[in-house]
């Protein structure tokens, strides 16, 4: 079992997160690409978020991360995008104006990553509802 633990819980919460630069500019290359990768690593370490896999592409960033349950996905992505934008502008002031500090687009994509497929979960739920119907005739499925 490759789960993590906090003081009173065991967990395995993995997410696939994708976000893009503002206006979908293809500007993540060369030295900036390396800096973005290093900044993301540092910020994830600060929040105790494990990077399972990640890639900085020319027009987007892919991350597969384990986020502790004490931290919501939206909190983490907001923190990551906000702090990384400030750190990017510190290292590369030529990228933005002093009035506009938005490097990333507002939205992001997130999906959970698990050991089970959707079909396996559906089958499990159906089997559980069948068992509860056998024990209690009032059990209802969705």
Active site residues: 124
Give the Cα separation of 92 and 75 in Å (integer).
Answer: 25
Q: Which of 90, 88, 20, 108 is nearest to 59 (CA)?
A: 20
**Dihedral angle sign, alpha carbons of residues 84, 11, 129, 126:** positive
Give the Cα separation of 104 and 81 in Å (integer).
Answer: 7
Partners of 121 in beta bridges: none
Token code pair at residue 63: 């991350």
Token code pair at residue 73: 């996905």
Question: Coil, strand, or helix at residue 104?
Answer: strand
Give the Cα separation of 89 and 81 in Å (integer).
Answer: 12
């Amino acid at each position: 079992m490759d789960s993590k633990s906090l003081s009173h819980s065991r967990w395995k919460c993995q997410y696939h997160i994708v976000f893009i630069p503002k206006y979908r500019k293809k500007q993540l290359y060369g030295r900036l690409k390396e800096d973005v990768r290093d900044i993301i690593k540092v910020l994830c370490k600060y929040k105790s978020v494990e990077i399972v896999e990640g890639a900085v592409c020319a027009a987007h960033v892919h991350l597969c991360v384990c986020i502790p349950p004490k931290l919501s996905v939206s909190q983490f992505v907001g923190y990551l995008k906000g702090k990384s934008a400030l750190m990017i502008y510190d290292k590369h002031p030529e990228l933005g104006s002093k009035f506009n500090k938005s490097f990333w687009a507002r939205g992001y994509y997130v999906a959970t990553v698990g050991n089970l497929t959707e079909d396996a979960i559906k089958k499990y739920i159906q089997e559980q509802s069948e068992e509860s119907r056998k024990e209690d005739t009032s059990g209802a499925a969705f």
